[in-house]
Structure 1
Amino acid sequence: MEGGQMRSHAAAGSAVVAPSTAERIRSACARGGAAMLAVEGLEPSPTPVHHLLDDGSLAITVPATGLLNGLIVGSGAAGIQAVLEVTDYAPLPLREPVRSLVWLGGRLFTVHPSDVSPLLDAIATSSPNPALLQVNTDTIEATAGDTPCALVRLEIDSVVVADSTGAESIGVGDLLAASPDPFATLESCWLQHLESAHRDVVDRLADRLPAPLRHGRVRPLGLDRYGVRLRVEAADGDHDVRLPFPKPVDDATGLNQAIRMLMGCPFLNGLRARRI
C-alpha cells in the first residue's frame, strides 16, 4: 500500500457490494496472518495466536520468559498499554503484497492459571493452531525446540483498519457483531490454485475490468462471499478492482455458480439449457 500508487476501482456499471469494515477485520484475524504486539519501550513481539473472545478481548500468546510477559505480570490489575498490528498479506507474490493492516489497541493483562486450559480448549475448538501447544500449563507442554509462551489478554479499546481505500475505525461492539467471511480460511489455497491452474478463468474475469485497466498484469487478489478482487499491476501503479457477485454466497456451490456468472458462462455448473 504505497502512498499514491495503490488505487481502488469498481467495475464499470456495477454496484459494489463488499464486506463491512468489521467483517474485513474479522476475516483478516481469522486467516491467522502475521501479527506484532507493540509496547512502549520494547521491541515489537510476534504473536502467533491472536483470537477474538466473546467478551471483546483478544487472547494472545507472548514469550513466557521474556521481558514483555514480566511487565504484564508485574502490572497486576492495571495492565499495560499495547497495540496489536495484524498484517493481511495477499496469498500470491504481488509487487505490493500487503492487502490491509489492522491495529487493535488496548491494555494487556495476565490470564489466571486456572483459566488457561479452558481458554486454550475454547480457542482450539474454533481456531486450531499448533502454536497453542507452546503455552505451558499443567497438562500442555511446549513442543521441543519451540519457545514456551504465556497466554495473555488484550482488552480492546480501539480498532482501526487501513487498506488501499484509506483508514477507518470501528467500535468493539461492531467487531463482535460481525463474522469472518465463510471462505476466509480457504481463500489463500483457492486463489493460488486459480492463478496456477485456471489462468483462463482469470483472463475471463479480466474482460470485466474497465477498459483502461486491461493493459496491466491482472492477478487474483481476494475472494469473499460478496465477490472477487483483482489486482492490476500497471505501469502507472497498482489498481484494485472488485467484481461483485449478483448476490452474496455462503457455500462452495454458490461460489462456483457466482464465478461462472461473472465469467459470462451460460450454463451454471455445466448444465445444458433446457429444451423448450
Structure 2
Amino acid sequence: MQHPVTAPPIPERVRTLAATAAPTHVSLAGTARPAMPARGGVDGSGRPVLLVVPGDPLHGAREEPVVTVDLTASRSLGGAELSRGLLKVQGWVQAVPAGELRETAVAIAERCPDEALFEAVERPEAADGPRLLRVDVGQVVYLTGPESGVLDAEEYLDAAPDPLLADAERMIRHINGAHRDRLENALASLMAAPVTDAWLWELDRFGVTVRSGALDRPTLVRLPWPAPVADAGSLEAALHCLLCHH
C-alpha cells in the first residue's frame, strides 16, 4: 500500500519559511565584529534583502563582502511571537540593480515597513541615503524544530515556496482566531491522549501541523492529507473535514 507524502520536500519547506521570514541579524565573515541587527526581507527568488543606512558597516560596501544573514520565521499565538524556524543564509552582498529597486522594495515592504525603504528607491545614487543590498546565496543552514541541515545554492534557489502559501496563512489566522474550539474537539477524537491549548501551526498542500500544550514544551502533531491538494478550494475542504471529525 502506498503511504501518503506527509510533508513538503525540505527545499520547498525552507523556501516557504524564507518567504514569511524577516532578517534579524547579519554578520561579516573574516571580522571580529559581532552580529549586527538587520532590517529587510526576502525577495521573490528567496534572496535576503537588507536595508542599510549611513553608519551601517555594509552601507559603503563595494566589493561583495561575505555575510551570514539570520532569517527568522515566526507565528503569533495568543499574543506571543514563537519561532517556526531559523535560516542562516551565507553568501555575498551585492547592491540591488537600479532597474530592480522598486520591485524589490515592494517584495519586502510587508516585512520592512520603513520610510527609508522608499527613499532607497527614489534616491539610489545618494551617498548619504539608505541602500538596498541583497545576498547572492551560497548556502542555507536551516534549523526548524526537529530538522536541521544545509542546502546548497542550487537546491535552495531551484525550489519554490508552497504554491498555496498565501491561502494557507489566511486560513491559519482564521482558524486560530475563531475556531480553536472546533480544532480541539476534532483532535480529541483523533488522539489517544487529551489535547489542550491547540493551534494550527503549519498548513500546506501535504497536510497540517498542530501545536498543543505549554508554550515552553509544545507537542507538534503532523496530520497528512490522503493526497496532496492542488488548489485553495481543496485545501479549505481538507481543513474543513479535519475540523468536522468526530
Aligned counterpart for 1:246 among listed residues 211, 215, 226: 226
Partner of 1:92: 77
- Write the distance in 2 (CA, Å) between the matches of 1:195 and 1:19: 22
Amino acid at match of 1:104: V
Equivalent residues in 2 for 1:1-276, closer than 5 Å: 15=4, 17-39=6-28, 40=31, 41-51=33-43, 53=45, 58=47, 60-70=49-59, 72-73=61-62, 76=63, 79-93=64-78, 97-111=82-96, 115-116=97-98, 118-123=99-104, 129=110, 130-131=113-114, 132-138=117-123, 148-207=129-188, 209-212=190-193, 214-234=194-214, 237-263=217-243
Which one has more relative contact order, counting CA pairs under 8 Å at least 6 apart?
Answer: 1
Alpha carbons of structure 1 residues 219 and 259: separation in structure 2 relative to 1, 3 Å: same
Instruction: Please give the per-residue CA displacement for 1:192-244, whole angstroms capped at 9, x wherever unaligned.
Output: 321221234312441354313x2432222111111111112159931111111
The alpha-carbon deviation at position 264 of structure 1 amounts to: 5.2
Q: Which runs of 5+ in 1 are unaligned?
A: 1-13, 142-146, 267-276
| Percentage of matched positions with identical amino acids | 24
Amino acid at match of 1:252: A
- Write the distance in 1 (CA, Å) between the matches of 2:135 and 2:106: 20
Instruction: Please give the per-residue CA displacement for 1:163-204, whole angstroms capped at 9, x wherever unaligned.
Output: 221311112112122111133234444323212212343124
**Alignment TM-score, normalising by the size of structure 1:** 0.72
Partner of 1:8: none
Paired residues of 1:134 and 1:148 also in contact (CA < 8 A): yes
Larger radius of gyration: 1
Alpha carbons of structure 1 residues 84 and 16: separation in structure 2 relative to 1, 3 Å: same
Paired residues of 1:35 and 1:85 also in contact (CA < 8 A): yes
- The DSSP-based 3-state class of the residue aligned with 1:65 is coil
Paired residues of 2:207 and 2:228 also in contact (CA < 8 A): yes
Paired residues of 2:198 and 2:212 also in contact (CA < 8 A): yes
The alpha-carbon deviation at position 128 of structure 1 amounts to: 5.7
- Write the distance in 1 (CA, Å) between the matches of 2:244 and 2:94: 53
- Write the distance in 1 (CA, Å) between the matches of 2:121 and 2:34: 23
Instruction: Please give the per-residue CA displacement for 1:2-22, whole angstroms capped at 9, x wherever unaligned.
Output: xxxxxxxxxxxx855211221
Paired residues of 1:91 and 1:188 also in contact (CA < 8 A): no
The alpha-carbon deviation at position 159 of structure 1 amounts to: 0.8
- Write the distance in 2 (CA, Å) between the matches of 1:152 and 1:34: 12
- The DSSP-based 3-state class of the residue aligned with 1:60 is strand
The alpha-carbon deviation at position 38 of structure 1 amounts to: 2.2
Worse overlay, 126-135 or 97-106: 126-135
Worse overlay, 34-43 or 127-136: 127-136
Paired residues of 2:72 and 2:87 also in contact (CA < 8 A): yes
Alpha carbons of structure 1 residues 139 and 60: separation in structure 2 relative to 1, 3 Å: closer
Alpha carbons of structure 1 residues 67 and 127: separation in structure 2 relative to 1, 3 Å: closer
Alpha carbons of structure 1 residues 162 and 222: separation in structure 2 relative to 1, 3 Å: same
The alpha-carbon deviation at position 28 of structure 1 amounts to: 1.6
RMSD of equivalent CA atoms = 3.2
Alpha carbons of structure 1 residues 253 and 110: separation in structure 2 relative to 1, 3 Å: closer
Amino acid at match of 2:40: P
Worse overlay, 233-242 or 162-171: 233-242
Alpha carbons of structure 1 residues 108 and 125: separation in structure 2 relative to 1, 3 Å: closer
- Write the distance in 2 (CA, Å) between the matches of 1:59 and 1:234: 33
Paired residues of 1:34 and 1:88 also in contact (CA < 8 A): no
Paired residues of 1:89 and 1:100 also in contact (CA < 8 A): yes
Alpha carbons of structure 1 residues 70 and 264: separation in structure 2 relative to 1, 3 Å: closer
